[in-house]
A and B are shown apart, each in its own frame.
Chain A
Amino acid sequence: MPPRMLPEPTPETRHFWDGCKAGELRLQRCTDCDGGSYFPPRPFCPRCGSRKVEDYAASGRGVLWSYVINMRPRPDMGTEPYAIAVVKLAEGPQMMTNIVGCPQTPEALQLDMPLKVTFSRQSDDITLPFFEPAPSSQERGA
């Protein structure tokens, strides 16, 4: 199996990948407007254009927003069908990911099911954020 396709961080995204390595899902938000959190990373607010933005550790919680199950796996992804999913984070942004810790079937993957982030080390530099089913929690919706 060829090695998994991995991201190559840039100066503008480095904090995100360093966060994954450190076990934190880092989002960004603007300190000039109340536009909320945004993703993917960039050094300015995509709503108001201000450069005054901050990184912070997000909750790592979200819900399964949509997905497909790829029946013809990419060679670096193994031989079994896998879901390519988009999670809607509790903080608002959407993020592509894989769902781990549950069967890759339409029955097991129900839209709006609660998920939480889990980190998977791929190399010295890169740790990928995956999501897994989360037991229902009082924290959810906070």
Chain B
Amino acid sequence: MKRKSIAVVGAAETTQMGKIPDVSVIGLHADAALNALADCGLTPRDIDGVATAGISPVDLAHYMGVTPTYADGTSVGGCSFMLHVRHAAAAINEGLCSTVLITHGESGRSRVGAGGFGRAASSLAGQFEMPFGPMGPPTMFTIPVLRYLKARGYTVEDLAQVAVIQREWAAMNPRASYKDPITVEDVLKSDMIAWPFTKLMCCLVTDGGGALVLTSAERARDFPQKPVYILGTGESVETPMVSQMEDFTSSRAFRVSGKKAFEEAGIGHAAVDHLMIYDAFAHLPLYGLEDLGFCQPGEAAGFVNGRNTAPPSAGRTGGKLPLNTNGGGLSYMHSGMYGMYALQESVRQMRGIAPAQVPGAKVSIAHGVGGMFAASGTIVFSNEAP
């Protein structure tokens, strides 16, 4: 993409969050979209580009009354929205459209108007994984982890610590699903779901949505909210089958996407004030810290245990790299494709309005995963005009 030319001017989540039994999937998309449009003072008539995953961009455009000249239906799992941001930036630069609406909505808990989840028995995953009994992400996303722990010298306590510190952040967020403090022991004693993963190492299952409106940085100054500029973007995909991941201790998609985003932004790690790493499970922040280059392989667990990603507490100052400051998928919310919420928290932090605001933060990264280490997208944001 052309550097530093695009900004987020509208951003919002659904009005309610958590359990929303009276709104369908498409209704959650629309609620978030209307909130994001209100946030930037636009109407559907001002939108000429649409992007979404889970439903078709045709569904979205028709439902919202948008006549687009650009439609992106990239659907690679929970990080699809990072890819939508990246593609929207390229599209706006190229003149395909001027103002893009990106939406997410999912009735993960209430299942109102939600489709099924399944893989054909003739697909590769249907032939070479499903016959052996996996039952959704808790038994698939977690499969590489025993190898990772052994290779790195990490323990299950290290996994638990990730959940403990994210709960500290969630306690500062009024909209978080879980706010009560927890200990490593609480995490380890919660129900065993798929050894070595207990319930509190797994993300929530909730209802909700979010939407973003993007336009050129030049136009962004005319909108009511403080523009949040996109400095760099990255994306990649690896494999639809977790068993075929090249290296169980590192995600190739993470490495490729992260490197590209840093290069485009032209920044080093020390410039990053705030970080979101999609945490469907407790191991993902550890992989993310290593694969994005914030920690050397083998140092991520010590980095988290040393409170480098934690909020201020009991007289201690906060860590140097605040991570998952909304509480994350583990404690804030997770409707199925969480990437949108990571982007929303980065935008809030850059606007200076996050519930657990990082003082003076100027650069934020939102890093997403799709499927079970299948895909990845990375967005570097800044509140300073490039």
Contacts and interface: CB of A to CB of B under 8 A. Distances in A.
A106 B248 contact: no
Contact of A6 (B121, B150, B191, B244): B121
Nearest to B127: A7
B129 A68 contact: no
A114 to B, nearest CB: 16
B135 A69 contact: no
B127 A111 contact: no
Contacts of B145: 66, 68
A66 B144 contact: yes
Contacts of A6: 121, 131
B130 A70 contact: no
B132 A98 contact: yes
B134 A84 contact: yes
B58 to A, nearest CB: 30
Contact of B128 (A40, A69, A72): A40
Contact of B127 (A40, A71, A86, A98): A40
A13 interface: yes
B127 A95 contact: no
Nearest to B150: A111
Contacts of A139: none
Interface string B131-152: 1111100011011111110100
A8 interface: yes
A111 B131 contact: no
A67 interface: yes
B195 A98 contact: no
Contacts of A94: 243-245
A84 B133 contact: yes
A86 B131 contact: no
Nearest to A105: B195
A68 B244 contact: no
User: Binding site of B, secondary structure by majority: helix, strand, loop or mixed?
Assistant: mixed
A49 B273 CA distance: 43
B197 A96 contact: no
Given A5-B121, A7-B126, A67 B131 contact: no
Interface string B229-270: 000000000000101110010000000000000000000000
B132 A7 contact: no
A107 B114 CA distance: 40
A98 to B, nearest CB: 5
Interface string A87-127: 00000001111100000001000010000000000000000
B243 A95 contact: yes
Given A13-B127, A69-B195, A70-B133, A40 B146 contact: no
B132 A84 contact: yes
Contact of B143 (A17, A84, A111): A84
A8 B120 contact: yes
B133 A73 contact: yes
B385 interface: no
B196 interface: yes
Nearest to B124: A40
Nearest to A122: B131
Contacts of B197: 68
Contacts of B244: 39-40, 94
A96 B128 contact: yes
A95 to B, nearest CB: 7
21 contacts: A7-B121, A7-B122, A7-B126, A7-B128, A8-B120, A10-B127, A17-B127, A40-B127, A40-B128, A40-B241, A66-B144, A66-B146, A68-B139, A68-B143, A70-B135, A74-B133, A74-B135, A77-B133, A84-B134, A96-B128, A97-B132
Interface of A: 4-10, 13, 17, 39-40, 65-74, 77, 81-82, 84-86, 94-98, 106, 111, 128
Q: Which 8 A-B pairs have the closest CB atoms?
A: A7-B127, A69-B195, A66-B147, A8-B121, A96-B243, A8-B122, A68-B194, A77-B133
